[in-house]
Amino acid sequence: MAHRQDPDAARFTLVAFHAHPDDEALLMGGTLARLAAEGHRVVLAVATDGEAGAAASSYRMAGRLAAYRRDELDSSAAALGCARVVRFGFSDSGSSGPVADGAFSRVPVEVAAAPLIELLRAEGADALTIYDPAGGYGHPDHQQVYAVGVHAAAQAGTPLVLEATIDRRLIRRLIRVVEAIPGVLPAVRAADYDGAYSPASAITHCVDVRAYADQKRQAFQAHASQASSDDGARTLGLLLKLPPWLFRRVLGREWYVEHGRTPGHRLDDVFATLR
């Protein structure tokens, strides 16, 4: 399928590339819901099934976590209005401990990018979303998504690449609040986020998704296995405890860095460059 040539075309195709099920909801669930509601084609591509993620033992019994997370991803994608879900089936690297040789983060970029290149070409994708170079909070699979996505977009000729990220100042403020509440997320420290996500000066887009907070919340709820672990509450679970009005206020904006665009006035339209 050829890329659309008309810069004023009303409808675009976006491929959102993520490392694990639930990443799509946390980082850009509102954007995906908004784009789908506006009539754009949203394709969700996920590198792994998240089988090495943290979860309560009830989800991990008999090696069933991957199956749970595949079903959760389908439910989340439906809530957000995604037209298609594609799983690449790489192995989850995990966020701690030694990484297996065959895990996604260890696969050569050219090899890991092959299915994404094929997808971008088949969809005639106008835009691709990846992560920032830091991989957000530094997960090796998230860093690999950045490297693989940059390579794939160049090979497929995808004209627009956006890094889904968070304004670093805001995440550090939130974590300082969490630090002040004993026992909430004891392993989380603001100092660990000095180089995480993106500096405010680099961000090109701040997308208003408050009108889609209900769909974003439904996507969060779909990922039930990620709401808690045997060690206690997790970020997704804590966010779901927010009342709807506060959820909308706290999670009503999503941030991006567009490749090739000089930061300035932050845009609300992820497709502004294509119009």
Condensed to tens digits (0 to 9), the pLDDT of residues 49-59 reads: 989 878 777 77
**Helix spans in the chain (H):** 23-37, 57-60, 65-80, 109-123, 140-156, 168-179, 213-222, 235-240, 244-250
Indicate the pTM of the whole model: 0.90
Rounded to whole angstroms, how far apart are CA atoms 33 and 244? 17
Weakly modelled stretches of the chain, pLDDT under 70: 1-9, 62, 174-193, 232-233
Class at the top of the CATH hierarchy for domain 13-255: alpha beta
Domain boundaries, the chain: 13-255
